[in-house]
Structure 1
């Protein structure tokens, strides 16, 4: 089975997907006139503005929900893996895919806001790739094809976020706790199930509230800790920067032979970490209460920077500056070792151990506990975000049928299948906690890759409304207005939510007049 999954993963994460991620980022950057550079001040301003309502969360809460999906084991174990199999140059390609991916994130998340709708079961805002695939072309002859495409994406996302991706997070968390405190992976699994059950059963509002408190606190604490360790080795920084850039382009003698691996692992782990183009960000973006879709598109673009340029970079410099790394000439730990940083024990596993040993070089014995605690929070919030995305796509698949009562069994189709989904994701967490790391990461990579293929191709076809929204937003801002979105004036069909939206009341006019 492991060999079969590895083969499938190899096909999905072929060079085609690597080039697609990079090329799409370049294309979206040019089409948006490098919105990820021009609008950075506006991104920061919008993060802390915006209103929430009974149906939607605030811009900051939506950002936190999005970051809770982005900031996870990929920021620690993922960076370590990229360096182990791609060399220090992989970190440069993670930066590259983040810079380009910020424009991709803007486009996909703006589309998520434009084509959002209300959940017929809870009245909360819902949106994402499945929604914009099915709605953006609803007025054209291609409508049936795109509706099917939306259902395919939704099914893949339920599978990936409900079963495949949670196992990676729980595996890293259980492994880190086992190494730090000797806690059995089964005990960790039970603890995760209890916490997760409490949060996810509470719905979108509880998820947003939990993420809004935990994610910012842990992200700042982790970055500060990493910077303390890095600056304690300040003399190493110039050499690290030089090595990263040289090995990224094959100019470093030690890593020149693995330049292809540097690109592949950098892009692969970069996309896994910041999720730009993967199609996960638009789900959280659509939940925000904003007066214009471009507002949340800009906020979500900045989330890519937070994830990769801040947190992943902190991990990379922590590992490299302390020598807590080992680079292999191949994709497995059985491959020959190209270079050993010198700080790792001979039996150290690729993953969180790299960061744990790095911190231990400054405070012996503290690294294991700190990384275990960091991963506990990062992984829990990421799993919760995965559940929200899986639930959103389940709602899309069910549509109006989600409110249909179930004979004999109490509740509706939507509430009963949501309960089944909650059980499945908890089972996935338990299985992932006791699985091997390689099995968990392979399943996670398959889930990420399938979503990325479907979403990026679809967004390339549907991108035009995002640019119309961006130009409209910038025009209104230039006139001194607080931008309000009117899809009819911009000739954007299918944005039915916005056609009746009342920006003064946080509800649509149709609801207000009832």
Structure 2
């Protein structure tokens, strides 16, 4: 196991620096300039779109936002940020912000493309994602299959194991924790609860996540604000630490793999998923009058995840005065920070937060996996297959709780990187279509219309579309 873990780490060191760092930043900056900084100019519009009502029985923009946010807002928002700070330094927070700000444009493009090429289900609902736009627009089902397999491995295996591990890791601070026993008990309980929900299928997933995500996010931000107010005198030093460490290039290039830059980009990508090709699977399910609407919604989801939830974690931990160390990496750093104000209740709060985060992450992740399994099968699989797969998914959740921290994080990073390597070139090649759709949307808004999309208006071959004609 140690040999495999070291091998994966060696691959990741090359995969993230220089390959993925260049790809992510170049893609995000390219679409930021091509859309004329739409992350800022269309931010208000993205909020307005979320409030729109769908047609009778359709999935609303808000529900699609909650499913994608459920996957984005997960244990990585607590444990991932803690790891980035403890292992990479304070400057990791800056790089996390940067990847979210420019990544919002990438998220917009990939989700708009998913809407353009979405398919119509037998029940009248829509579905889609990168595999569909890769096959339909690029003409390569083989590459679509490779992406679908990469996503299934990333979410059903890597990310779900990680969510389970991160939850049990928060129990280490309690006296009853026994390393050889407690993780397996927690993993079993989580697997049983998640298994019950996922056997109910996609509709139940949407209902659960729509209810839990807003409550979970608001509670977490409120506690973070309390921590900030109590430690307000420390906030100037917090910002000073973030920016001075972020631009300490001697430290960064002295040890690139573990630097604040790489840790911030890794954990930022893991948390907000911009450019990975995951959220488009949820975006394609929304019932909207124009693909750009859902692109704007998914851009907003990136901001909610990183600029709000991740920043809340970073500020509450750093303002406490607790010095981040490698030994505190993970849930313990945030728990120790909260205990300076809330005592033992701080530990309880993080454990409860991680329980909700892990739960909604598991559900959101498996919603994506459902979409890719349907793609591989060219239709919704049989009930027997779905039941078997969901039982296997629950077993993986159970196993993840007892794995070693380094192995689980490294595996998740590797699988996540493979998704990016396929999806980013695809959206760069197809990006002009999303940009034309964006211009079509802006043109109709300037005429005070509720934008409605037709493929021929931007020169698309409507024979390749199941919607928008």
Question: Shorter-chain TM-score: what band?
Answer: over 0.9
Q: Tell me the distance in 1 between the aligned counterparts of 2:172 and 2:393.
A: 22
Name structure 1 gaps, 5 residues minimum. Answer: 138-142, 328-332, 334-347, 403-412, 501-514
Q: Name the one with the larger helix percent.
A: 2
Q: CA contact under 8 A between 2:116 and 2:468: conserved in structure 1? A: no
Mapped pair 1:204 → 2:202: yes
Matched length:
460
User: How many angstroms does 1:371 deviate by?
Assistant: 0.4
Alpha-carbon distance in structure 1 between the residues aligned to 2:17 and 2:391: 33
Q: Which residue of 2 aligns with 1:28?
A: 31
- Matching of residue 390 in structure 1 with residue 369 in structure 2: yes
CA distance in structure 1 between the partners assigned to 2:93 and 2:151 by the alignment: 28
Corresponding residue number in structure 1 for 2:158? 164
How has the CA–CA distance of structure 1 residues 420 and 9 changed in structure 2, closer, same or farther, with 3 Å as cutoff?
farther
Distance change in 2, residues 1:61/1:456 (3 Å): same
Where do 4+ consecutive residues of structure 1 move more than 6 Å? 253-256
Structure 1 residues 343-377: Cα deviation after superposition (integer angstroms, max 9, x where no partner): xxxxx541011111111000111111100100101
The CA distance in 1 between the partners of 2:92 and 2:186, in whole Å, is 31
Asked if 1:452 corresponds to 2:420, the answer is yes
Deviation larger for 198-207 or 457-466? 198-207
Give CA deviations for 1:433-467 in whole Å, capped at 9, x if unaligned. 11121121111111211111111111111111111
Displacement after TM superposition at 1:258 (Å) = 5.9
Report the equivalent of 1:250. 248
**1:142-183 deviations in whole A, cap 9, x for unaligned?**
x2xx22111110111112112121000000111213534736
Q: Tell me what 1:352 maps to.
A: 331
Structure 2 vs 1, CA of residues 309 and 7 (structure 1 numbering), >3 Å: closer, same or farther?
same
Q: Among residues 159, 165, 168, which one is paired with 1:174 in the alignment?
A: 168
> How does 1:87-166 map onto structure 2 within 5 Å?
87-120=89-122, 123-137=124-138, 143=139, 146-166=140-160
Larger radius of gyration: 1
C-alpha distance 322-270 of structure 1, shift in aligned 2 (>3 A): same
| Secondary structure at 1:240 match in 2 | helix
TM-score, L = length of structure 2: 0.94
Alpha-carbon RMSD: 1.9
After TM superposition, the score normalised by the length of structure 1 is: 0.86
Counterparts of 1:231 and 1:278, CA distance in 2: 35
Deviations 1:107-150 (A, max 9, x none): 00111111111245x5532111101101123xxxxx2xx22111
If asked which structure has higher relative contact order (CA below 8 Å, sep 6+), I would say: 2
Displacement of 1:419 after TM fit? 2.0
Distance 1:259 1:242, change over 3 A: farther
Equivalent runs, 1:455-466 vs 2, <5 Å: 455-466=423-434
